[in-house]
Amino acid sequence: AHLDALAAAQQLALTFEACGQFGQAEDLHREALAGRVAQLGPSHRDTLQSVNNLAVLLSGLGRHDEAEGLHRQAAQGFAAALGPGHPCALRSVGNLGDALQLLGRPREAADQHRASLQGWTALHGPFHDEAVRSAVRLGAALEALGEEAEAEALYRLTLSAGE
């Protein structure tokens, strides 16, 4: 398929997803991903965005085992292509952390969320929406690990962001 057609398939997949038509969305996400891999290669930014979009859909459907590998592929790919501090890489790292948390692997989740928090803080400061979101996600992982004091400190920091 032509690249414009693949972009249209990707957009239509997102529309189907927003409308709750998840089977059609998944089919189109997979079609766009396969086409982009074939035409652009696996490490192109557009291909990685397709990987990310499919992973997010699968996570939303509770298919976290499947999503984990795709989230990891997107995070590593964006970091290699755009740098580890790029917003696409940082979002993907956070998504990977979420998948790991939902798979019952809070230590690994905490590592990903800590990396995401450090990246967003370096990029925009500790009170940026993405940094705050990462801090809350890290706090949840730390709570699951029984590290309540560190989680509380993070939550207090996020509360001060709203003041």
Q: pLDDT tens-digit profile of 85-119? A: 999 999 999 999 999 999 999 999 999 999 999 99
Q: Are 78 and 51 in contact (CB under 8 A)?
A: no
pLDDT at 158 over 90: no
Burial class (CB in 10 A: 0-12, 13-18, 19+), 68: buried
Domains annotated for the chain, with CATH where assigned, are: 1-84 (1.25.40.10), 104-163 (no CATH)
117 in Cβ contact with 131 (< 8 Å): yes
Give pLDDT tens digits for 20-70. Answer: 999 999 999 999 999 999 999 999 999 999 999 999 999 999 999 999 999
Residue 49 identity (one-letter amino acid): Q
Q: What is the pLDDT of residue 160?
A: 85
pLDDT band at 163 (very low <50, low <70, confident <90, very high): low
pTM of the model: 0.92
